[in-house]
Chains A and B, each alone.
Chain A
Amino acid sequence: MTYGLAVDAAVAVMQGIAVFALAPLLTGIMSKAKARTQKRVGAGVLQPYYDLFKLLHKDEVVSDQASWVFRSAPWVVAVSTVTAALFVPVFLPSSPLSAAGDFILVLGLFALARFFTMLAGIDAASAFGGIGTSREMMMSALAEPGLFVTLFVVSLTLGGTNLTGLVGAAAQSGVVLTPSMLFGLIALFIIVLAETGRLPFDNPATHLELTMVHEAMLLEYSGRSLALVEWSQATKQLVLFALLVNLFVPVGMPVSMGAGPLELGAGSLAVLAKLGILGVLVAYVETRIAKWRLFRLVDLFALAIASGMVGMIFFYL
């Protein structure tokens, strides 16, 4: 590493800003793709930006039942999600901050955001918020072992929990077609769908009380607070997609920051393209399946955990 501390910090900040700035675009691409597969024209890919911009200029209505927890939750959610993004190598093979925090920290920060989202759901004393929180309680509890078992498989195969190390090792070994990594991929894909609130776990496009989970918790938010929470959700989605792509399909990713600027640029573009493809794929999956009944989701989580366990067995045997 010939880079100085200032360069490191600059790289981290640039990457963080890029993730934050491009996150709504990914959401836009996904809803466009979903609209096209449903033979609709759909809104433009920039629509999420317009929505967020509009929300930031709107007045807010806050429930008179709500306490300081409700009002501070959007900020806690936004700060912890964006901070988590700083620790993940998304476009570049390195995140300079990953010397200060690892995969487990990123999961911890996401959990902190979810904790406050769930509390905010209860705080307005609405039954809708309660519905969302109680469903999310079950789903997040079951998603946790799925995530961890993937982490276990990935960390065994690639070494450590440091994300720069993991992504670098993945880039070095290319697409690893060992059975353990394949099963890990299955587990992580299912969990990423759950964590980002996609079908069949949650329908981001509905406001029907029978189906909504994440939306129900946010129902009382408006204006600036809603913009913050929505933007954080988009950021989290991009980060998780990037983790999936960079760990399992590291095609085009340079091994380290030592590569030339040209290679790094090409790598970033490759990540962007892969994220777009993954987004379109998820959107396509969403049009093909319906939302599952809440208690059938337990089976899907069990599938994720089981395939992670199979991956672990394959690694050790």
Chain B
Amino acid sequence: MEISPASSALFLGALLLYFAGAVLPLLLRGRRESAVCAFLPAALGSLLVVIFAAFVIVSGSAVRISSPVAAPLAVLDFSLYIDGIAAFFMLIIGLVALSVSIYSIGYSKSYCGRHSVGALGFLVNLFVVSMLLVTAMDSVFSFLVFWELMSLSSFFLVVYEHEKPKNLRAGITYLIMTHIGTAFITAAFLVLYLQTGSLSFDSFRGAAAQLPAFTKDSVFVLALLGFGTKAGLVPMHTWLPKAHPAAPSNVSALMSGAMLKVAIYGLTRVTLGFVLPDSPGDAWLGLLMVMVGSASALFGVLFAAVEHDIKRALAYHSVENVGIIVVGLGLSVVFLSYGLETLAALSLLASMYHSLNHAVFKGLLFMAAGSVVLGAGTADMNLMGGLAKRMPWTSLFFLVGSIAIAGLPPLNGFVSEWLTLQALLSSYQVPNVALQLSIGFSSIIFALTLGLALATFVKLFGISFLARPRSKEAESATEAPRTMLAGMGLAGGFCVVLGVLPFVATSLISSSFGFNMGLVSGYPPFGPLTVGYTAAGLKSLSELSPPEVLVAAASVGAALLGFVAVASRGRKTTVRPYSTWEGGFGPLGVRTEYTASSLSQPIRTAFKWFYRPHTSTERTYFSDSNHMVRRSVSVVSETKEVFEEYLYSPTTRAVLFVLDKVRKIQTGKINSYLLYVLIVTAVLLLMAAIQP
């Protein structure tokens, strides 16, 4: 607990820069320079945050920055406390904000003249600052203040394009859901307050070991509900696929890349800090997280698979990835309950590694989707196509993001999914058959998720960027401006580095969470990640060393080039461009191409039990007597989201029904209100009379 002036100056400098970024564009009032004035300071500030966070993590000691004036009330204590965990999440937010800020310089110019760029700059800076400060707060009140600031600033960003009624509806859904979440979080903190009599996180941590079982369980479940709503866990995810597509794309990148991680931060704090799972009786809490996580992963990816709005599909993928993160977190709770500390560290490493990865690649993907939407003028993939030739850099970056999120080597998604799979495989060490089997079954769902994610990204990339353009707008699309490409390139670079050099992330995570890397080692720097096994009396290690794999692949590539050159010696071959073979029918139009909907048709049919598609066929006939000859057949097939249809709509209807009945007492006549007052007074008097 030492105050180091140099590092705290870094952080305060960053805050000042964000402040400048927020205020300057408002003063400029819509001049062309306002985009630069808003986002250049933000980029610099984010860079400072990244350096500061890395500094805190490496130094291994927490930083406390108190205000010079003592707070008049203990509740109003806004001093900052940044330990390793907070610094790690600051690093995530900083990395996303850095690339998004650079991207936004070019992106926000597209709003010039239509919307206030100044307001966008102000809100984005406010949003980033509030996210950073949420992680730095150390007491309930200040935490909730910045949490609320984060929710509100992001709400205003969601409804930024307020002229579209759809966006307003999305914003309202978001506002309601996020406050339901906040209510649960507040409840969790209040339960802790009742137990400890204090509102500071320090006292929560101190009391964690003596919490009674019931308090533990209720805090845990309330926190899972509250933070899970913000993180987008099924079934509280419904706001996410609405809000992300409605927001401007740079904001979607921030919300998905950074804000969901703030929710994960809260969940990690509570589940592993304020509630210590230390006896086998707590294992069910971890199992609950594993199950909710796998359900989110599967349902998220299933919805994404049949979606044809590029940004909504990416939003559903956020539900999936948050699910994967929560699976890792839940496993770590299970392992901790049985005292398997190394395995708990492994699962936590997997979970946090995936948080970092998801921030980077989902930020990248939303940014790339943003430039696609600008270029093609639509978010509907069925109207895209052929963009790989028209937007070569954007398509390359989107491909990098796709490979990363699909968990394919050699990019970062593979490493964290490898770690998560290893953690799942290690579940045999939990001495409880029911747990072993349920985690085993969850891992099958997890594998199905990975397979579906691969398929979905084939669709997302293939339909948007490959083949022929399916609309005039897509045909005349042009490449995004340089600053946008720079932002995407930076995020793409993070994907590559985190994939090829995992020791960077593993050492950062292990020193920020302070666990000793026993079995999971990233040392020496270029050595393999290692997970140990002792199954069936055999000792075995699982190892993964991405640098070596890359060297092997490079040598194989060189060898293959040489082999092909030698084997095809003797004749010089040529490559001739010619039109695609159309089955001998001559040039067929764009309408014969596969679309996003037709590409996912087999998946939709295979998972019909889940999607419950509504298909209606309408036939008209030339004459009513003869139904063999049809004039026209039209088929409409749509899938509504099952949670909307079977959970939210009935609930909303029931609430409205009850409120409708309650409304009857609001007659508007003063006489009836006086009557109510009389009745209440009588009841109160009666109660006072009965009670001694």
Cβ–Cβ contact B388 & A68, under 8 A? yes
Bound: A78/B563 CA distance, A? 12
Chain A to chain B: the 4 pairs with minimum beta-carbon distance, closest first = A130-B594, A144-B451, A160-B540, A148-B447
Q: Does B641 contact A (CB under 8 A)?
A: no
Q: Does A10 contact B (CB under 8 A)?
A: no
A273 to chain B, nearest CB (A): 27
> How many residues of chain B are within 8 Å of chain A by beta carbon?
93
Cβ–Cβ contact A105 & B592, under 8 A? no
A: residues with CB less than 8 A from B are 16, 53, 56-70, 75, 78-80, 82-83, 86-87, 97-102, 104-105, 108-109, 111-112, 114-115, 118-119, 122-131, 133-135, 137-138, 140-145, 147-149, 151-152, 155-162, 165-166, 169, 219-220, 223-224, 227-228, 294-295, 298, 305, 308-309, 312-313, 316-317
Q: Enumerate B502-557 residues with CB–CB distance to A below 8 Å.
A: 528, 531, 533-536, 538-545, 548-549, 552-553, 556-557
Q: Does B195 contact A (CB under 8 A)?
A: no
Bound: A122/B433 CA distance, A? 46
Cβ–Cβ contact B414 & A137, under 8 A? no
Partner of B600, one of A97, A128, A134, A305: A134
Cβ–Cβ contact B448 & A135, under 8 A? no
Known A64-B578, A108-B409, A141-B452; further 4 A-B contacts with Cβ < 8 A: A102-B544, A133-B594, A134-B602, A224-B568
Cβ–Cβ contact B606 & A65, under 8 A? no
Q: Does B98 contact A (CB under 8 A)?
A: no
Q: Does B428 contact A (CB under 8 A)?
A: yes
By DSSP majority rule, is chain A's interface helix, strand, loop, or mixed?
helix
Cβ–Cβ contact B428 & A79, under 8 A? no
B: residues with CB less than 8 A from A are 385-386, 388-389, 392, 395, 399, 403, 406-409, 414, 418, 421-422, 425, 428, 433, 436-437, 440-441, 443-448, 450-452, 454-455, 457-459, 461-463, 465-468, 528, 531, 533-536, 538-545, 548-549, 552-553, 556-557, 560, 564, 567-568, 570-571, 573-583, 588, 592-594, 598-603, 605-606
Q: Determine the residue in chain B with the shortest Cβ distance to A223.
A: B573
Bound: A133/B600 CA distance, A? 10
**Do A316 and B580 form a contact, CB below 8 Å, given A69-B399, A102-B544?**
no
For B557, the chain A residues whose CB sits under 8 A away are 75, 79
For B542, the chain A residues whose CB sits under 8 A away are 102, 160-162, 165
Cβ–Cβ contact A61 & B468, under 8 A? no
Cβ–Cβ contact A105 & B578, under 8 A? no
Partner of B403, one of A115, A123, A305: A115
Q: Determine the residue in chain B with the shortest Cβ distance to A53.
A: B567
Cβ–Cβ contact B552 & A60, under 8 A? no
Cβ–Cβ contact A159 & B598, under 8 A? no
For A143, the chain B residues whose CB sits under 8 A away are 451
Partner of B409, one of A53, A112, A122, A133: A112
Bound: A83/B580 CA distance, A? 31
For B531, the chain A residues whose CB sits under 8 A away are 160
Partner of A64, one of B536, B579, B594: B579
Cβ–Cβ contact A145 & B451, under 8 A? yes
Bound: A144/B443 CA distance, A? 11
Cβ–Cβ contact B540 & A224, under 8 A? no
A302 to chain B, nearest CB (A): 10
Bound: A312/B433 CA distance, A? 11
Partner of A134, one of B448, B536, B553, B594: B594
Cβ–Cβ contact B602 & A138, under 8 A? yes
A292 to chain B, nearest CB (A): 13
Partner of B549, one of A59, A100, A162, A294: A100
For B440, the chain A residues whose CB sits under 8 A away are 152, 309, 312, 316
Cβ–Cβ contact B579 & A309, under 8 A? no
**Do A125 and B553 form a contact, CB below 8 Å, given A143-B451, A144-B451, A156-B535?**
no
**Do A63 and B580 form a contact, CB below 8 Å, given A83-B552, A152-B443?**
yes
Bound: A98/B545 CA distance, A? 10
List 10 A–B pairs whose Cβ atoms lie within 8 Å, in order of A's numbering: A58-B573, A65-B579, A100-B548, A101-B545, A115-B406, A126-B582, A130-B598, A138-B455, A160-B535, A312-B437
For A148, the chain B residues whose CB sits under 8 A away are 421, 443-444, 446-447, 450
B582 to chain A, nearest CB (A): 7
A95 to chain B, nearest CB (A): 11
Cβ–Cβ contact B466 & A69, under 8 A? yes
Cβ–Cβ contact B577 & A64, under 8 A? yes
For A308, the chain B residues whose CB sits under 8 A away are 444
Partner of B458, one of A60, A78, A118, A298: A118
Bound: A128/B588 CA distance, A? 12
Cβ–Cβ contact A159 & B543, under 8 A? no
For A53, the chain B residues whose CB sits under 8 A away are 567
Cβ–Cβ contact A122 & B545, under 8 A? no
A271 to chain B, nearest CB (A): 21
For A80, the chain B residues whose CB sits under 8 A away are 409, 553
For A105, the chain B residues whose CB sits under 8 A away are 409, 418, 544, 549
Partner of B560, one of A69, A78, A123: A78
Bound: A312/B424 CA distance, A? 13
Bound: A129/B599 CA distance, A? 11
Bound: A8/B242 CA distance, A? 54
Cβ–Cβ contact A100 & B545, under 8 A? yes
Q: Determine the residue in chain A with the shortest Cβ distance to B453.
A: A141
**Do A298 and B606 form a contact, CB below 8 Å, given A59-B574, A100-B549, A118-B462?**
yes
**Do A159 and B536 form a contact, CB below 8 Å, given A63-B579, A133-B599?**
yes
For A169, the chain B residues whose CB sits under 8 A away are 536, 538, 540
Cβ–Cβ contact A100 & B543, under 8 A? yes
